[in-house]
Chain A
Amino acid sequence: MNVIEIKGLTKIYNTSEVIVKAVNGIDINFEKGEFTAIVGPSGSGKTTFLNMLGGLDKPTSGKVIIGGVDVWKLSSRQLIDFRMNNIGFVFQSYNLIPVLTAGENVEFIMHLQGKPKKERKQRTKDLLEAVGIGNRINARPSKLSGGQQQRVAVARALASKPEFILADEPTANLDSTATNSLLELMSKMNKKYNTTFIFATHDQRVIDKAHRIVTIEDGKILSDECFERD
């Protein structure tokens, strides 16, 4: 079953000197529970593709249909609500809210969703325990290591029970131990919650874990391969 359908997705940047086609008419579908890596060299259009897929950057043309909803036909307000309820984000620089504790960062999105306090508290506790930092629930991001912050970011991305999680270079700032640990965690979350994970990466360790590898170059899909992994 397709969770995401992408049709003719294009992004053109018009600068004063040149016209750059960052994403050039991509057609692709993603299914429920996929663990996919979007790979390609720097400047290939991975992040732009991911941003358009996540409703962060408006395409020049083409469609992003998630669960039957044409994302870019939504109003600005509807789009924010749609992201909140359907898409989880994990950023390269963690991007936790610095004035909130680990627990509050995870709880924040559920607060925005209007979930009852009891449910929020329980899910926050469960998620932080699931990502292995239940004991740091009251720590501010500045008191956490990079790996711990990225775990909180994963817990935050899962908090709203999204259809899929978009992760842009999630391991770029992590050492190899933290990277392996994070990948194990994401793989576990993928299996446990059957959440679709889509990574933009050129980290070989991430690529090695992916079940599907989509290679982009010059804004076009160069290859799309599936693998059987444990």
Chain B
Amino acid sequence: MKIFTIAWRNLWRKPWRTVISSGSIFFGVLLSTFMTSMQYGSYESMINNVVKFYSGYMQIFTEDYHENKTINNTFIFNGSIKQIIEDEPKVTNYTPRLEYFSLASSENLTKGSIIIGIDPIRENMVTGLKKWVEKGRYLSKDDDAVLIATDLAKYLNVGVGDTIVLYGQGYHGVLAAGIYPVKGILNFPSPELNKQFIYMPLNSCQQLFSAPNRLSSLVLMLHDNYQLPSALSHLKSKIKPPFMIRSWEELQPGLVQMIEGDKAGGLFMKSILYLIITFGILGTILMMVSERKRELGVMIAIGMQRYLLSRILFIETFFIGLLGAAAGIIVSIPITYYYYLNPVPLEGDAAKTMIDMGIEPYMYFSIQPDIYYVQAVVVFIITLFIAVYPVIKAYTLSLTSALRS
């Protein structure tokens, strides 16, 4: 007669009680998994938006450029940096950029703008820039033209086929000036970008600023955010001064803080949920031990060592946790997977707010394995905590009072 058999049969002495106790864990795990999946899905969506929209997962630039983003602190893209990037298997793509400020003018109107020189093909592979072209056409490598963001175009009163003048300071203080036709109008989901961005082919941009072969940054892409820590640490060990590499987390500290804040809120909610479950199960266990006091006393009286008895009681508690957690995880997997494949579209003001923030108006779900196994670990810890009571009871049970009960 294994102690497992006794523990298992004890569970089913009052099947409804076991079902209700395990059921509370089941619903707790299901709800918590669903919440976490939705939470992580929204983070992944936000990170995706930021990373795939502009910043990439990592950027390489010079230490001086990091301190002072002037064109004088740009660098020449040489073979050694290229080799390091191409040797890193987790990097799926990269794109060079030369980014600086300039005045943009048309007839009597002038506005400060951000000029970004890009490799049109690589940039489109990394950030999908082409999809934001609202009017006109996307750039090709040899163009000597620009793509202008829609609000800036409206301000300057220019359209496709019109020309704008870019005027500013180039490398080492030389005059930077050029006249460029507008090849396309970009409409980003972010009002801030729509007010100030101008894209042009890298060569044209380098000529404009008299900075041949110079780049301000290299934007690196990975398959997903989970590969970031190892890729970043690997590349950091290889990239030596004057170059440096920074992750999107370091480049976008505001987003990281927002996610951490939201995670803390979610953790608080889940803690309350699990606290309620803990007390629910504790109540069941207290009752289970209390009504079997005499039986436990008899088992010790006839020769069962207290440690064996405590093992039985622990296994019973553990089984309740295991049943609930396993059922919760098993049921939550297909549900979250369904929503992972079919994100919930948002409507109304919520959708508008998200669009204004440059985020697609969908409620995304994540299916990262840790969402599921963390629940199992949490339930296991709760079970351990609750199981302390019957274990203590088994060790401190007074035989005479138990037999009299």
A and B pair up: yes
A residues with a Cβ closer than 8 A to B are 51, 54, 56-57, 76-77, 80-81, 83-85, 89, 91, 93, 95, 97-100, 104, 107-109, 111-113, 156, 160
Neighbouring B residues of A89 by C-beta, 8 Å? 298, 301-302
Q: Smallest CB-CB separation from B3: which chain A residue? A: A111
By a beta-carbon cutoff of 8 Å, the part of chain B in contact with chain A is 1, 6, 9-10, 13, 294-295, 298-306, 308, 399-400, 403
* A111 touching B302, Cβ below 8 Å: no
Partner of A109, one of B13, B302, B403: B302
Which residues of B have CB within 8 Å of A97?
6, 295, 298-299
A99 touches B10 (CB 8 A): yes
Hey, which chain A residues are within 8 Å of B10, CB to CB? 99
Which of A77, A107, A156 is in CB contact (< 8 Å) with B302? A156
Q: Is the CB of A112 within 8 A of B303?
A: yes
Tell me the interface secondary structure of chain A in the complex: helix
How near does chain B come to A45, taking the closest CB pair, in angstroms?
13
- Please give me the residue from chain A that is nearest to B305 by CB atom: A80
Establish whether residues B1 and A84, one from each chain, have CB atoms under 8 Å apart when the complex forms: no
| Least CB separation from A84: chain B residue | B303
Check B9–A107 contact: CB distance below 8 A.
no
Q: Do B303 and A81 have beta carbons less than 8 Å apart?
A: yes
CB-based contact B400/A98 at 8 Å:
no
Q: Is the CB of A83 within 8 A of B13?
A: no
Question: Residue on A with the closest CB to B398?
Answer: A57
A51 vs B308: C-alpha distance in the bound complex, in angstroms?
Answer: 22
Q: Is B303 a contact of A95 with CB atoms below 8 Å?
A: no
Residues of chain B within 8 A of A104, CB atoms compared: 1
Question: Would you call B403 and A108 a contact (CB within 8 A)?
Answer: no
Are B1 and A57 in contact, CB atoms less than 8 angstroms apart?
A: no
A83 near B400: Cβ-Cβ < 8 Å:
no
Interface pairs (28), CB distance under 8 Å:
A56-B403, A80-B303, A80-B304, A80-B305, A80-B306, A81-B305, A83-B301, A83-B302, A89-B298, A91-B403, A93-B294, A95-B294, A95-B295, A95-B403, A97-B299, A98-B13, A98-B295, A99-B9, A99-B10, A99-B13, A100-B1, A100-B6, A112-B304, A112-B305, A112-B308, A113-B303, A156-B302, A160-B303
Q: Which residues of B contact A156 (CB under 8 A)?
A: 302
Q: In whole angstroms, what is the CA distance A157 to B398 when docked? A: 21
Task: Please determine whether A56 and B301 come into contact, CB atoms closer than 8 angstroms.
Answer: yes
A51→B400 contact, CB < 8 A: yes
Cα-based distance from A63 to B189 in the complex (angstroms): 90
